[in-house]
């Protein structure tokens, strides 16, 4: 990748503006697309992010030197025009638009198109010459159902367990997916409990003004049998740990785009899988890329080889770039 942006050992680099976007090694100036740990890493001298990313970044990275911007607000860095645009992935998630001497590049970070909810601003396409896209679900088997039918299934699952006095344990990443679930389920079915990692994130987001249904943190005080008929949201890393004992009797489900594939459902060994993702599906990726009007497409983490070949066939100048994104971002917070 050469031009306005290029790849260095530390991450995506803009030479004209002398800044990095989502770098994976310490640098002086880092622009951050969103607060997930694989994009927002520790050790940068100065951070720039959408202001709604900042509370979670501070929560996870501690005292950092960070400034916030609004969507569409133009920032000038060493003569390079930079702005953030909604990516529809999680709260504060942004595509970063970089303009210099009439050339426009957009780094999309992670994104999701289509329906959204109040936990995250919907994706907005941005015209550009070169577009850097993820390809987590860049295969034609990934097609998301509507939120309505997804949450109808989830509510039905929870209700039927609640009727049998069982708990419904749902594994979802604590930042992003957990809030999507909270915004989508019907809280009148029963009480909602959360794992500490999820509740810590909820607290940060509530303080920042996000409206979520009432949730109760599960603590040492809760003994097996205390909780009945509840929905319990926990990060995937809690699966199969002794922490689960106090939730008995329960059944488990995983909320993830991967649940589309039967083999993956079986590998994860949960009772049920809900196809819920904060990434774009196949149609979403294709649509988003077409809308940018870009000719050059750089495909990063995911099925990058297959997806870039597909884009080339569609007439784009598409190629694969290696990044260090897309690693399971929640393993680290298993015991928090």
Binding site for another protein (CB under 8 A): 139-141, 143, 258, 260-267, 269, 271-273, 303, 305-306, 309-310, 313, 322, 324, 327-328
Q: How far is the CB of 320 from another protein (least distance, A)?
A: 8
151: number of CA atoms within 13 Å, CB side? 15
The Cα 5–Cα 16 span in angstroms is: 9
Task: Dihedral sign for Cα 84, 134, 175, 31, please.
Answer: negative
Q: How far is the CB of 53 from another protein (least distance, A)?
A: 25
What is the distance between the terminal CA atoms of the chain, rounded to a whole angstrom? 39
Q: How far is the CB of 207 from another protein (least distance, A)?
A: 34
Q: How far is the CB of 265 from another protein (least distance, A)?
A: 8
Q: How far is the CB of 23 from another protein (least distance, A)?
A: 16
**Of 242 and 263, CB closest to another protein:** 263
**Of 101 and 262, CB closest to another protein:** 262
Q: How far is the CB of 94 from another protein (least distance, A)?
A: 25
C-beta separation of 91 from 56 below 8 A = yes
**Of 84 and 325, CB closest to another protein:** 325
Q: How far is the CB of 307 from another protein (least distance, A)?
A: 10
The Cα 239–Cα 243 span in angstroms is: 9
300 Cβ partners below 8 Å, 6+ apart?
A: 132, 133, 134, 135, 320, 321, 322, 323, 325, 326
> What does the buried/exposed string (b/e) look like for 139-149 if buried means 16 or more CB atoms within 10 Å of the residue's CB?
beebebeebee
74 Cβ partners below 8 Å, 6+ apart?
A: 81, 82, 83
Burial of 209 per CB tally in 10 Å (0-12, 13-18, 19+): exposed
Q: Distances in Å between the alpha carbon of 141 and those of 19, 53, 201?
A: 37, 31, 32
**Of 71 and 303, CB closest to another protein:** 303
**Of 212 and 306, CB closest to another protein:** 306
**Of 120 and 168, CB closest to another protein:** 168
**Of 206 and 272, CB closest to another protein:** 272
**Of 9 and 219, CB closest to another protein:** 9
Q: How far is the CB of 267 from another protein (least distance, A)?
A: 4
The Cα 20–Cα 30 span in angstroms is: 5
Task: Dihedral sign for Cα 24, 27, 33, 34, please.
Answer: positive
Nearest to 25 by CA among 12, 7, 43: 43
């Amino acid at each position: 990748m050469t031009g306005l942006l290029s790849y260095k050992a530390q991450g995506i680099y803009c030479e004209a503006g002398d800044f990095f976007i989502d770098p994976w090694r310490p640098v002086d100036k880092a622009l951050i697309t969103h607060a997930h740990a694989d994009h927002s890493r520790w050790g940068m001298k100065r951070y720039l992010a959408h202001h709604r990313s900042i509370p979670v970044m501070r929560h996870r990275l501690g005292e950092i030197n960070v400034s916030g911007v609004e969507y569409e607000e133009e920032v000038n860095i060493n003569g390079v025009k930079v702005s953030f645009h909604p990516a529809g992935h999680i709260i504060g998630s942004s595509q970063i638009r970089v303009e210099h001497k009439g050339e426009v590049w957009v780094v999309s970070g992670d994104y999701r198109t289509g329906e959204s909810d109040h936990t995250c601003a919907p994706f907005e396409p941005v015209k550009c010459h070169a577009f850097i896209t993820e390809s987590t679900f860049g295969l034609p088997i990934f097609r998301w159902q509507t939120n309505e039918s997804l949450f109808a299934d989830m509510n039905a699952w929870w209700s039927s367990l609640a009727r049998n006095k069982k708990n419904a344990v749902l594994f979802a990443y604590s930042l992003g997916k957990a809030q999507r679930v909270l915004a989508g389920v019907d809280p009148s079915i029963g009480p909602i409990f959360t794992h500490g990692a999820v509740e810590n994130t909820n607290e940060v987001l509530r303080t920042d003004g996000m409206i979520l249904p009432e949730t109760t943190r599960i603590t040492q005080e809760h003994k097996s049998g205390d909780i009945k008929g509840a929905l319990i949201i926990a990060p995937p890393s809690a699966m199969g740990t002794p922490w689960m004992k106090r939730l008995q009797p329960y059944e488990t489900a995983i909320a993830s785009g991967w649940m589309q594939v039967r083999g993956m459902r079986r590998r994860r060994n949960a009772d049920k899988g809900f196809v819920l993702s904060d990434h774009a599906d196949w149609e979403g990726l294709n649509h988003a890329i077409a809308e940018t009007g870009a000719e050059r497409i750089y495909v990063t983490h995911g099925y990058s080889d297959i997806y870039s070949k597909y884009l080339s066939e569609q007439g784009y100048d598409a190629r694969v770039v290696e990044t260090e994104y897309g690693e399971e971002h929640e393993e680290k917070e298993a015991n928090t």
